[in-house]
Structures are given as structure tokens and as C-alpha cells.
A and B are shown apart, each in its own frame.
Chain A
Amino acid sequence: MIRWGVVMTVVAACVGYLVYSASGGSAEYYLTVSELRAQQPASGVVRVAGVVQPDVQRTDGGLHVRFTEKDTTSSVMVDYTGALPDIFRPGITVVAEGRLGPDGVFHASTLLAKCPSRFSTSTYTQ
């Protein structure tokens, strides 16, 4: 007969280990534009949230885009290749996931968009 307390502890330890080891590799910082500018993280993938400014340049049939992302004080140029979220246009909030390059441009591998608050349900687009 097994003591269930022992089993639970073992499983809990396994879960704890899994969570810890999985977090280490995949957790990213979630920053505002000002924080990104201020911190200049050496390397590593981060997420940056900001509002899209009107200077959107699209090339390559919409598969490549450069735009400025801004919060109340700072702004950063974002470069992204891939299909754009449907909601994407100046004025919406986006979360760009990627790295800040040595050229001061944020190279995004993923772009997530949030709907303006006056609409009800927002949607997940990538």
C-alpha cells in the first residue's frame, strides 16, 4: 500500500522542477517602450508594448513592415516580417516580441495586437 502523501510530494516535486526548468528558458520580460529604451537589455528576447504611430511603411505585399511604437514618453522603431494582425493600424496597441538590435531598431519575430477598448472581445492574431 502506497502512502499517498509520499506520491503527492513526489509528483509535486516533479511539477515544481518542470515549472522551474521550463520557466528559465521561456520566460521573457514584458516591457513598455520607455523601459526598453532605459534598460538596453544586452541580449535576449523581450516583449514590448506600445501604440502604433502613423508612420507605417509596408513593403513586400504586406509581409514586411516598419513602424514606430510609442508609449507616453519614448518611442522605438519596429521591424517585422510576417503576416500582420488584422487589427493592425495606427492607434492600436501592439505587443512586439523580439530583440533590440545594435541599430536601435527592435526586430520583432512576433506581433500581437489588442483591440481598442471600445470593442468588446479582442482577438488573438499573430
Chain B
Amino acid sequence: MILAFLGSGALLAGLVMAVFSVLLSFWAGWSENRVMIQVGRRAFYATAAMILFASVLLETALLTHDFSLAYVTEHSDLSTPIALVAAAFYGGQEGSLLYWALILGLLGSASLLASAKLGLRQAAYAAGTMAAILSFFLVVLVLVASPFNLLQITPPDGLGLNPVLRDGGMLIHPPVVLAGFASFAIPFSFAAAALLAGRSDAAWIAHTRRFALVAWGLQSTGLVLGMWWAYHVLGWGGYWGWDPVENVALMPWLATTAYLHSSQVQERRGRLRGWNFGLVILAFLLVVFGTFIVRSGIVPSVHTFAVSAIGPWFLGFLGACLLFSVGLLALRAGGLKSHGEPAPAVSREGAFALQNVLLIGVVAVVMWGTILPLVSGMVGQERVVGAGYYEKAAGPLFAAILALMAAGPLVPWRRAGGPLWRSLRWPAAAFLIVLGVLFAAGVRSVPPLIGIPLAVAVASTVLYEYVRGAGRWRNAGGGRRRAVGLLARRRRRYGAYLAHLGLAVVVLGLAASHFWQQEKDVTLAPGQQVSVAGYTLTYAGSESRELADHTELVAAMKLGSQTLEPARATYAGLGGQSLTHVAISSSPIADVYVVLAGTNGDGSASFRVFVNPLVSWIWAGGAIIILGVVLGNAGALRSAAEPVGVRVPSPVGAS
């Protein structure tokens, strides 16, 4: 009970402090009052501290099973394992909002600390913008969806966590995805600050880009973890359903992927400035749109939170952000004109620009599929699209992007010449060879015939670049300073190439497991066998096991020397709901995935068996992507050094 009062007090104090930070930061930034800017920034840090305090209180309430709090009662009970009780912090509507605010407060504070050497005015406006976003979340937390609401009577036990969520994936996936969403607010705030101040220099752009990369990395991890969790826990043999909740996590990721490439054009050549601002802002608007969709229940989805009064608030916030962004871009459009002449089409700049346009095309396709139920419901009969729509509409765009990935790293800046066509023969050869092999093996379906050779071509380009780089490294010679400079510039590039390789691996995993998945429904008596795609499973009988909070019906399926144990878990306290525990035998070649549908009176059991080729490549590829990003950029948060040889406008007003 005490925790609830302290917690709601902390949230209220945080709200007051956040509003104070907004007002002061914007005023002080406008009047360039150095002292007041610092006060405004400290107010932001204090807000973050209040939110952290409130978070600690909520977590404490959960871990001590304080059922006087409605939130604790609704999302945990005495029998829930302690790790999942802790995870309930971000599992419910109110707690996840607090978690969002926590991440924004902490990451935002870090970004402000790291920006200490950058433009005074921009830093103030950035603090003000982030504080404004934080204020919105705090208003919702204080007025509409408080995690600290008390129950009239304290019940002896809680309602418990939904059994489907009682899994390790619950511990990792939601916090990473939520953190990813929240982190897009930071590059947005810095971009908005630069636009408001009417000024941006190379160091500021680099700072914005760094935090966009952090957001991209978090979101990539969150997306892959979500796919992994869906695959391992939910028992339908797949990992992506094009559900609105998944789509809204994907769209800001796509926009930021575009930005990470086009921002290089800005770094090197000072062009595409307006476009880059637009991308960063679009990413955040997509995030706000996403939170609205997910939390309002307005579009049919299987992932929705409990429908609550929160929807209209997020719609209002979305409207406000849209107005603010459009107004800002319109007002400042004049100052964003690029210097220097545009590059010819066949150049690295051209490749990035085309890639950007294609990625935005994919965003449009996904957006349309997501809002179709809304739009169609308003003008007539509600319609929804299935996975087929996304594959048919976005597939060709993805193929074009893959082709660009295979060619792009080989295309020089400014102007392509003879050497380009010579180096392109490597990915072209890889493409043709793999295409030939697939065709000879009998593959006739177009999507894998295009997608798989393209992914291999991307990988071959990465390997080619690494080999070429190794050669240049050996020949570089020169002094130590020059070598260090080369390495610093190279590290980002080769880290990015490693991420490209990771993406190619993911694409191969997606293509194989999607197009060549095999599935069989079968009922077996003990001792009987079933064969799927060359794998033979023998049903060896089933038994019932009693565990702490549930009963498990476990079937034994022999696969070679392994025994798989698909099971069904029944949780008595929750209306006898029964869950699937999938049994998976993984290898680099394929996964054998077995679901126990149930047992029959005559001792037989029914199964659904999948064979998913190359599925583990998806998870491995995801890890490679993150490795590439980390290796290429770790420690870069400290250094404000720009790559050698770039024309840098002189920084103005560094404090």
C-alpha cells in the first residue's frame, strides 16, 4: 500500500518536473541562456530519476506480491515463477507504459550527456522535445493508466500470468521491443532540435545517427527475438504472421534502415538533408502510430492489450506529433537545400537513394495492409488481407533491395566507371550459379528462384569486399596514424558489411523455411511411425506429469537417437486452459517441429509435424547482424571524430 502512494507520488513529481523541463528548455534555448539550459537539462535528468524510482517501486511491489495494487493482482500470483513475476513489470498495459517512459528517460539522459560538446541551442531543444514526449507518457500514467491503482480489498492471491506467457521468451522479447520503440524518440528529438534551431553541423548529424543506430539495433534484436519466441512457443510452425502488432514494429525499422544509408550521403556530400530529417521523423511517427494501433484495439489483431480508455489519448498524441513535424519541416524546408551538385544515377549515392525509395515503398505496402480493416470498415464492409498480400506486394520490392545490396557496396561514390562492371561479375556469377543449381534441382516457383540467388550474391559481395580490404590493408603501409585513421573509417564499413552478410543469412533462412516447409497431421498408435521430408518419427507412448503449477501430458517421439517430448500443459487454476509445448530438433539443415494435438481414448495420439529447412539460419543471421553493428560502432559513442577526408562545415556554437 505504501508502495502505491510512493509510486503515484513519484509519477506525479516526474510529470511536474518534465513539464518544467519542457518549458524551461525551450525558453532557455530560444534565448540562448546557458545557465537556464543547464537547469532544464537537469530537470530532465531529475524526471528520469523519478521514473526510475517509480519503476523500482513497481518491481518491488511485484516481487513482494503486494496484491493491494490492482496491477500486481492482475498480472501475477503466488505460484508464478519469480522471474516471470519480475517480467510482469512490462507485461501489462500500465507497466509497459512505465517501462517505455523509463527507457526514454534513461536513454534520453545518456544522449544528452553525450551531446554536451555539441550546439547549445540544439541540445536545449532536444532536451525540451524529449521532455515533451515524456510528459505525454507521464500524463497518461498519472491520469489514465496508473500501475499504482489500489484495490478496495486486498485479495489473498493474484490472477496470475497467462500461461502462454510463462516462458523465457517473455523475459526477453517484450522489453527489447519496447525499448526499441522508445529509443526512436531520441534521433527524432535531435532532428527536431536541429530543425528548430535552423542549424545542424556534422557533429550533430553524427550524434543523431549514432542514436538512430542504437534504436535500429534494439529494434532488430526485438524483431528477431519476437520471431524466435513465436516459433518456439506458439506452436504453429511459423514465426511471422503479418499481424498489425508485428507490422508496426517493422515499419520504423524499415524507415531507419533507409536513414542509416542515406545519412552517409549527407555525411560525405552534404546532400539529402531534408530527406534525412524526414526519415528520422517518419520513423518516430510510425512508432507513435504503432503504439496507438496496438493499445487502442482499433484493428483486428491477436496481440492486443486489453482495450481501454487509452486509445483516444494516443490518437491525440499522434495528431500532435504529426502537426508538429509537418509544421516544422514546412517552416524549415528552405534552409535544407543541399549544396553541391547531385551525383549521377549510377553511383553509391544513386544506389542509396533508390534503396531508400524502395524501402519507403515497402513501408507503404505494410501500412496499407495494416490499416485496410480501418479504412474499409469506414466506407463499407470491413476487409482484411492475409499473408499472401504482403508477399505479393512487398516481395518484388524486397528482391530489388537485395539486388541493390549485392551491387551497391561495389559501386563507387560520385561516378561509376569501367572497374564497376568488372567487380559486378562476382555477385552476378554467384547469382547465376545458384539460380542454375536451383533450377536443375527442380525448383520452379519464382520467389525462391529469385530470392535465394540474390541472397547468395549479397554474401559474395561482402566476401569480395573483405578480401579486397585485406589486400589494401597489407599494401597500406604508411605511418601508424594513417593506419589508425584507415581502421577507424574501415571499422564502420566492415561492420556494416558484416550486418549485410547477416541479413543475407536471414533471407536464406526465411526463404527456405517458408517456401519449402513441409507439414503433416497424423494420428499414431504407440509404436507407429510417420515420415515427413525424409525424417522418420516413432511414437513411443505418453504419460502425465505433475509439476508445481500445472499438469503435463507428455508424448515421446523418437527421431533417430533423439527423443522429442511434445507436450500439452494444463493449468488448473485458469479454467483448465491447456497449452502446447512444442518439441523441436534443430540442426543447421532443418528443424523437426512436433506439436501434440491431443491423445485419444484408445491410446493413440495426434500430432502435427513440421519440417522447417534452414530455420536456424534466421536466428544465426540475426546474431551476425547485431555483431556487425556492435563491432563496427562500439566505442563510437565517445569519439566525435569524423572520417578522414570529408568536407566538414565548421561547427558553430559548441559549448
Q: Are A and B genuine complex partners?
A: yes
Binding site for B on A (CB under 8 A): 1-2, 4, 7-8, 11-12, 14-15, 18-19, 21-23, 25-31, 35, 47, 49, 58, 60-63, 81-84, 86-87, 89, 91, 95, 97, 112-115, 117-126
**B238 in the interface (beta carbon within 8 A):** yes
B396 within 8 Å of A (CB atoms) = yes
Known: A27-B389, A117-B307. A126 touches B357 (CB 8 A): no
B80 CB to closest chain A CB, in angstroms? 13
State in angstroms the CA–CA spacing of A113 and B605 once bound together.
23
In angstroms, Cα B373 to Cα A31, docked, is 11
Chain A residue, CB-CB nearest to B389: A26
Q: By the criterion CB–CB under 8 Å, are B598 and A11 in contact?
A: no
**Chain B window 433-450, contacts with chain A (Cβ cutoff 8 Å), 1 for yes, 0 for no:** 000000000000000000
Interface membership of B140, Cβ < 8 A:
no
The answer to whether B174 and A121 touch across the interface, beta carbons within 8 angstroms, is yes
Q: Which residues of B contact A22 (CB under 8 A)?
A: 365, 385, 388-393
Distance between Cα atoms of A11 and B386 in the complex (Å) = 24
> Are B392 and A21 in contact, with the CB atoms below 8 A?
yes
Cβ–Cβ contact A63 & B523, under 8 A = yes
Are the CB atoms of B235 and A61 closer together than 8 Å? no
A47 — nearest CB in chain B belongs to which residue? B384
A52–B162 alpha-carbon span in the complex (Å): 19
Complex: chain B residue closest to A126, CB-CB: B236
Q: B278: CB under 8 A from chain A?
A: no
Pick from B230, B241, B303, B342: contact of A1, CB under 8 Å: B342
Query: Which residue of chain B has its CB nearest to the CB of A49?
Result: B300
The 8 Å CB contact of B162, one of A4, A63, A119, A124, is A119
Task: Enumerate chain A residues within 8 angstroms of B368, measured Cβ to Cβ.
Answer: 19, 23
B549: which A residues are within 8 A, CB to CB?
A: none
CA distance A42 to B606 in the complex (A): 34
| B409 in the interface (beta carbon within 8 A) | no
Given contacts A61-B597, A62-B606, A124-B302, contact A83 B235 (CB under 8 A): yes
- Take A19-B368, A61-B598 as given contacts and tell me if A27 and B383 are in contact as well, using a CB distance cutoff of 8 Å: yes
Q: Once the chains are docked, how many angstroms separate the CA of A86 from the CA of B575?
A: 13
> Judging by beta carbons under 8 Å apart, are A125 and B236 in contact?
yes
Closest CB in chain B relative to A56 CB, distance in Å: 12
Tell me which of B421-429, B466-474, B476-484, B576-584 binds A. Answer: B576-584
Give, as a whole number of angstroms, the nearest-CB distance from B234 to chain A.
5
Interchain CB contact under 8 A, A125 and B384: no
Interface size on B, residues (CB 8 A): 76
- Given the interface contacts A11-B361, A18-B397, A126-B236, does A62 sit within 8 Å of B389 by beta carbon? no
Q: Check if B384 sits within 8 Å of A27, measured CB to CB.
A: yes
The reply to whether A1 and B353 form a contact with Cβ atoms under 8 Å apart is no
B382 and A124: CB pair below 8 A?
A: no
Question: B575 touching A7 by the CB < 8 A rule?
Answer: no
**In the complex, per-residue mask of B231-248: 1 if CB is within 8 Å of any chain A CB, else 0:** 001111010010100000
Q: Are B164 and A123 in contact (CB under 8 A)?
A: yes
B606-637 interface code vs A (CB 8 A; 1 in, 0 out): 10100000000000000000000000000000
Ranked nearest first, the 4 interchain pairs of A and B with the lowest CB-CB distance are A61-B606, A62-B598, A22-B392, A22-B393
| Cβ-defined contact, B373 with A30, below 8 A | yes
Across the interface, do B386 and A28 meet the contact criterion of CB distance under 8 Å?
A: yes
Interface centre among B75, B597, B599 (most CB of A within 10 A): B597
**B361 → A minimal CB distance (Å):** 4
Which residue on chain A has the smallest CB distance to residue B93?
A: A120
Whether, in the assembled complex, B305 has its beta carbon less than 8 Å from a beta carbon of chain A, the answer is: yes
- CB-contact partner of A126 in B159, B238, B575, under 8 A: B238
- The answer to whether B386 touches A26, judged by C-beta atoms less than 8 angstroms apart, is yes
Is B74 in the interface zone, CB < 8 Å from A? yes
